[in-house]
Amino acid sequence: MSVVVAVEKPSIKVDEREPFEPPPEVVTTPCDPWPRPYYLEDGLRRVLPYHFTYNTNCKERWRGRELLDIFSSEFRDRPLDYYEAAMHQGKIVVNGKPVLSPSTIIRNGDVISHTLHRHEPPVTAQPIGTVHEDDDLIVINKPAGVPVHPAGRYNYNSIIEIMRAERGLTWNPLPCNRLDRLTSGIMFIGKHPKAAEKISEQIKDRTVKKEYIARVNGEFPDGEIECSQPILQISPKLGLNRVRANGKESRTVFRRLAYYPPRRNEQDQNGLDPKSIEPTSTTDETSQEHGMSWRTKQGYSIVRCLPLTGRTHQLRVHLQFLGHPISNDPIYSNQRVFGPSLGSHDDSAFADEDIIARLSRMGKDEVAEAVAYHDEMVNDYNKRKAEKMTGELCEICATPLYSDPGAHELGIYLHAKRYACEDGKWAYETELPEWALPPPGMEGPTETTVETEPLVNETQTLKLKDIENAATDMA
């Protein structure tokens, strides 16, 4: 008799996890024209409007936030109503798919795509100068007003894209140092990653001596002027930085190269005929009494600037704090933003919210003026010449259109003049920019010399040395 033995089979656990899903698809740019749609007109490099798609990975600070909230706080190119409508119309999508509502929560790993009809601001038609070129590196003289990288409203009108258009679509320029859009001067462009890394490391390790030239309001003090005020970014969205006790360590040495007092019957430092505007000079007592010390700052100075640290807007912020902002700086020499004192020796956070609110209106319903000695006639002049919304809309995408920028908005009086290796192996330098030369009929320096080399005291924390016995030369 056979016996059948029942054997209990072991239970097998089934993996009930969701099947693997590939990474999210993103929208591809519908048009990437080559050659780039540049054309030159009225001294400006212009770009014909074109369709373009931005693809942006979710940043850490965006996690768990609503999509519309992210656009309202991180982007200021267009009004909030536009972004909300674009979400409903499918122009803004997440992971390649339309969103159910602007309240969609963004999570880690999401990709936000935004397709739009892109209108780039014009930049100067001045060519990118070449100071030096070899097999590894190009040292350029960057024109003022041109951003280095594509960012914000700028894409093809950037140093990288202009150089690529000149040298070929597959050429990949590698910037090694940073310059603000409004600043001109020395920049290093690596031809390959190894060369770019070598220069970038030297700059990062503070073994490169940098010298800038600025043109500032009033008579800058003579001698070595050091500013060691820490700097804090108070609005990432607007790129606004100010002196704050809790900011990052910052240090700059300044030395006046020349001072040019005002003269009657000639145009002033912002290109205005004094006879065409109302006089603004007052007595020192009256000006100080009403908080208008800027009115007493007659004429302008050419100042040599030696940054010993590399904070964003460091020279612009330090010069403003010292009471001598760069003459045509649309942010830090803007009376409509900072008031009559222009932020001189102000390290308080008391007025930050008001300053941010006023600055955010510049270029929309107001003009981004940079005239320290403001009066109604000067204001009218800049309104006619400045970039602002015209009230007209694009026929294709209904985007509000801007007027052309004025000459005073294409750059500021700040120039990176010289970069030199600390051990003397290399040095690159440009001539003084035109705005730093003596005005017609006046005498002044046309170049910097060893005798006027700024003094840098030996500092262990910054690993800096004296510059070629400058103290002896200037004694």
Count of all residues that appear for the chain in the document: 475
Q: CB neighbours of 226 closer than 8 A, spacing ≥ 6?
A: 251, 252, 253, 254
Which amino acid is present at 298?
A: Q
Contact by Cβ (8 Å): 215, 302: yes
Q: How many CA atoms lie within 13 A of 148 on its CB side?
A: 18
**Cα first-last separation, the chain:** 121
- ∠ CA(28), CA(33), CA(37), 5° rounding? 140
CA distance to 168, 200, 204, 457, 459, per residue, from 462 (Å):
41, 17, 12, 10, 6
Report residue 237 as tokens: 């969205």
Max CA separation in the chain (angstroms):
130
Enter the tokens of residue 395: 């026929």
Residue 141 has a CB neighbour count (10 Å cut-off) of 22
CB 320 within 8 A of CB 220: no
Active-site residue, from 42, 180, 205, 380: 180
268 classed as catalytic: no
The closest alpha carbon to 400, from 410, 409, 412, 390, belongs to 390
Which two three-digit tokens encode residue 166?
């000149």
For every residue of 408-472, DSSP letters joined together read GGS--SEEEEEEEETTSS-EEE-PPPGGGSPPTT----SS--GGGPPP---BTTTTB--STTHHH
Asked if residues 342 and 320 have their Cβ atoms less than 8 Å apart, the reply is: yes
Residue type, 302: I
CB 313 within 8 Å of CB 232: no
Element (H, E) at 353: helix 352-361
Task: Give the orientation angle of helix 80-88 with respect to helix 67-74, to 10 degrees.
Answer: 150
Point out the residues that are catalytic: 180
